[in-house]
Structure 1
Amino acid sequence: MGDLLRYLAPLEGYTQSRLEGVRFLRCNQPVARTPVLYEPSIVIVCHGTKRGYLDGQVYLYDAQHYLVLSVPLPFSSETDATAEKPMLAVSIRLDMTLLAELLIALAGEGAPHLMPPVGIVSTPLDHHLQQVTLRLLEALASPLEAKVLAPSIVREMYFRVLLGEQGVALRSALSLQGYFGRIARVLRRIHAHYSQPLNVGDLAHDAGLSVAAFHNHFKSVTRTSPIQYIKSIRLHHARLMMIRDRQTAAAAAARVGYESQSQFSREFKRFFGRSPAEEARCMAELFALLPARHEADSGQMMRVQF
């Protein structure tokens, strides 16, 4: 798979595949531990190694392990790669409508629940999923096969994941029953309205939980508190606005809901390790070193990071 992905992702950074929702990533150098924001997705690393860090836990995803996120999560990640041995990965964004259709088809099949539902987990990549991934990459190498075959292969990939060890997290995230589904619903609200005032008491009410129970269940899913989660989402979006839209720090802070620019600058530096101005300058220098890309690609590159 590594050689095929080298062909599909010839440039460092993100490459949009011929199928919406599927992207390739190539990294030719090591990347130190950095805050990232992942959308609900399946991430399969075909060559190289990545490690995710969240609340004292380490999530390995490499040629032998894959990552699934059933809810959007901010965490930190690092990459092992060199120019001779680049990190090559494919990310498949989760289509919740398609997942729901498969869950209906799987109802009553008694798929095993081997673990409690969580928002992020990495597990061994089995033979079935390896073969599905290879067939997906082969299909995406051809315009005709990408159009005709790739969607059904993605559907099969969902099926394999739902039946596997990580399937319980996805099933719970789609269900409105149980605390995991309630927290997933609240997370969708946060991501849709992160720039508006978000009161923990109101979020707990939406989840049908007491504030204390909401805090406990929220942390069991996201590994962080509601306030810290909201803050990290706002900071990631502000960073994106500054880089993609060339917004000033003051404008980005206001757009994501900060009333105090000084508070925004302090929290931004604490979170990313650089001031807003330093971060914007560093990312501008990085993009200047990359080959020219379509404007939409650069926006997508910064929207959700590996």
Structure 2
Amino acid sequence: MDFHLRRRMIDLLRELAPAEGYTLTPLADVRLLRSDRPLSRTPVLYEPGIVVVVQGRKRGLLGDEVFVYDAEHYLVVSVPVPFTMETDASAEEPLLAIYFRLDHGMAADLCMRIDERQGSSTASPRGLYASPMEDALAVSVLRLLEALARPPEADVLGPALVREIYYRILSGAQGGSLRAALAQQGKFGMVARAIRMIHSRYRDALSVDELADEAAMSAPTFHVHFRAMTGTSPMRYVQSTRLHQARLLMLREHATAAAAATAVGYESASQFSREFKRLFGRPPVEEVERMKRNFALPAAMTPSPYVSSH
């Protein structure tokens, strides 16, 4: 990336995100992220979206794979995948990033238009991948940041500039993988249906057989394809989804641990506490206090069918 372009992006993001945590923008599905300190391995659950890092570095660990997203790479999440994330940042060089929650309607329209001109993608769909930042995309991101720095422009030009960024990603070097994932064909699409079921019914006592039926697969086949796509087993995924939602309930709605446990489907408070600590490394109350101290977490974005960790 051109040095002067990157320097301008950093200056704008420092101005737009003066405090740690997530900062809202006039665009409902766009948030800015700042972190002034390194973050050790932390479980996260991103809903479908795109993370563009302007300064600093994040690493996502999913099974044996490591996904680096930094000033030279952006991250794409096409289906919610629980993974472990760590951050390189400091007060002198904070992590500065933009998070775009995926607008499926906009993406579907662009996919159709791109496929009409280039043909349908033959790439393999992927739930999570990091891709090199191309110059055209960097210029589009800078244009969006400049608009966000001028509120009237953000309101009027922002949606078109976000669409431009989507186009750059969907038509870029690895855009075929995202287009294939959004088309949700084949085994990928079948597992994606089961994932949507988990996110809409995480409170219920779901079984592997129910999820396999939703995916129109046998239980053994479903288990194999689910693990290949998410890096975990179906029941571990259900557990992770419940625990991430419980943490958000305690953080955003000030629910007690017992109330949050009940709300996400746990019948045993002690089991909830054990599994919460196993995932996040701290008991519920300590983890929520840590989040309050270290992260600004504004209200939820527009309603989403997916649970997420932010």
Q: TM-score surpassing 0.5?
A: yes
**Residue of structure 1 in register with 2:176 after alignment:** 168
When residues 84 and 176 of structure 1 are mapped into structure 2, their CA distance, relative to the original with a 3 A threshold, is closer
When residues 206 and 74 of structure 1 are mapped into structure 2, their CA distance, relative to the original with a 3 A threshold, is same
**Residue of structure 1 in register with 2:154 after alignment:** 146
**Residue of structure 2 in register with 1:130 after alignment:** 138
**Residue of structure 1 in register with 2:227 after alignment:** 219
Give the C-alpha shift of residue 176 in structure 1: 4.5
> What secondary structure is seen at the aligned counterpart in 1 of 2:125?
coil
Q: Give the Cα separation in 2 of the matches to 1:38 and 1:150.
A: 23
> What secondary structure is seen at the aligned counterpart in 1 of 2:261?
helix
Identity of aligned residues (%): 52
TM-score (norm 1): 0.91
Q: Confirm or deny: 8 A CA contact 2:72 2:133 kept in the other structure.
A: yes
> What secondary structure is seen at the aligned counterpart in 1 of 2:298?
helix
> What secondary structure is seen at the aligned counterpart in 2 of 1:149?
helix
**Residue of structure 2 in register with 1:195 after alignment:** 203
Q: Confirm or deny: 8 A CA contact 1:27 1:87 kept in the other structure.
A: yes
Give the C-alpha shift of residue 2 in structure 1: 0.7
Give the C-alpha shift of residue 174 in structure 1: 2.6
**Residue of structure 2 in register with 1:66 after alignment:** 74
**Residue of structure 2 in register with 1:206 after alignment:** 214
**Residue of structure 1 in register with 2:275 after alignment:** 267
Q: Give the Cα separation in 2 of the matches to 1:133 and 1:203.
A: 39
When residues 11 and 26 of structure 1 are mapped into structure 2, their CA distance, relative to the original with a 3 A threshold, is same
In structure 2, stretches of 5+ residues that fail to align are 1-8, 302-306
Matched residue type, 1:14: Y
Q: Give the Cα separation in 2 of the matches to 1:147 and 1:75.
A: 34
Q: Give the Cα separation in 1 of the matches to 2:97 and 2:283.
A: 30
- Within the alignment, does 1:81 sit opposite 2:82 as a pair? no
**Residue of structure 2 in register with 1:100 after alignment:** 108
Give the C-alpha shift of residue 139 in structure 1: 1.2
**Residue of structure 2 in register with 1:238 after alignment:** 246
Greater RCO structure (CA 8 Å; 6+ sep)? 2
Q: Give the Cα separation in 2 of the matches to 1:201 and 1:132.
A: 45
When residues 86 and 284 of structure 1 are mapped into structure 2, their CA distance, relative to the original with a 3 A threshold, is closer
Q: Confirm or deny: 8 A CA contact 2:68 2:130 kept in the other structure.
A: yes
TM-score (norm 2): 0.90
Comparing 63-72 and 96-105, the one that deviates more: 96-105
Q: Give the Cα separation in 2 of the matches to 1:169 and 1:192.
A: 25
Give the C-alpha shift of residue 9 in structure 1: 0.6
Q: Give the Cα separation in 2 of the matches to 1:97 and 1:248.
A: 36
Comparing 257-266 and 119-128, the one that deviates more: 257-266
Q: Give the Cα separation in 2 of the matches to 1:281 and 1:177.
A: 42
When residues 32 and 176 of structure 1 are mapped into structure 2, their CA distance, relative to the original with a 3 A threshold, is closer
Matched residue type, 2:98: V
When residues 35 and 235 of structure 1 are mapped into structure 2, their CA distance, relative to the original with a 3 A threshold, is same
Q: Confirm or deny: 8 A CA contact 1:241 1:252 kept in the other structure.
A: yes
**Residue of structure 2 in register with 1:297 after alignment:** 298
Q: Give the Cα separation in 2 of the matches to 1:111 and 1:266.
A: 50
When residues 305 and 265 of structure 1 are mapped into structure 2, their CA distance, relative to the original with a 3 A threshold, is closer
In structure 1, stretches of 5+ residues that fail to align are 291-295
Comparing 212-221 and 163-172, the one that deviates more: 163-172
Matched length: 297
Q: Confirm or deny: 8 A CA contact 2:199 2:241 kept in the other structure.
A: yes
**Residue of structure 2 in register with 1:293 after alignment:** none
Root-mean-square deviation over aligned CA pairs: 2.0
Q: Confirm or deny: 8 A CA contact 1:115 1:165 kept in the other structure.
A: no
Give the C-alpha shift of residue 166 in structure 1: 3.1
1:37 to 32, 45, 52: 45
> What secondary structure is seen at the aligned counterpart in 1 of 2:90?
coil
Q: Confirm or deny: 8 A CA contact 2:245 2:309 kept in the other structure.
A: no
Matched residue type, 1:219: R
> What secondary structure is seen at the aligned counterpart in 1 of 2:146?
helix
Give the C-alpha shift of residue 281 in structure 1: 3.3
Give the C-alpha shift of residue 16 in structure 1: 0.5
Give the C-alpha shift of residue 285 in structure 1: 4.1
Q: Give the Cα separation in 2 of the matches to 1:149 and 1:190.
A: 36
Give the C-alpha shift of residue 197 in structure 1: 2.1
